[in-house]
Amino acid sequence: MKTRFLASALLLAACALGSSSCDRKEKVLDVDTPGGGIQIEKDKKSGEVDIKIEDKK
């Protein structure tokens, strides 16, 4: 289940459009659930994607 969720999140990150903010990092996806959450950010300059997964168990 976690692998499927992560794969879906990565697909969304790859398809996301850029925002118009001046920050170096762009928040692509931020999902909070009672069981945890995931946050995906992309560095606008390098294109590096940072994925943070929180498990609230």
Question: Along the 57 residues of the chain, how does pLDDT read in single tens digits?
Answer: 667 777 777 666 665 544 444 568 889 999 998 889 999 999 988 999 999 999 887
> DSSP letter at 35?
T
| Residues of the domain holding 33 | 2-55
Q: Which pLDDT does position 38 carry in this prediction?
A: 92
Q: pTM for this one?
A: 0.55
CB-facing half-sphere around the CA of 51: CA atoms within 13 A: 12
- The count of domains in the chain is 1
**Residue 43 pLDDT:** 92
Q: What is the pLDDT of residue 39?
A: 93
H or E element in which residue 10 lies: helix 2-15
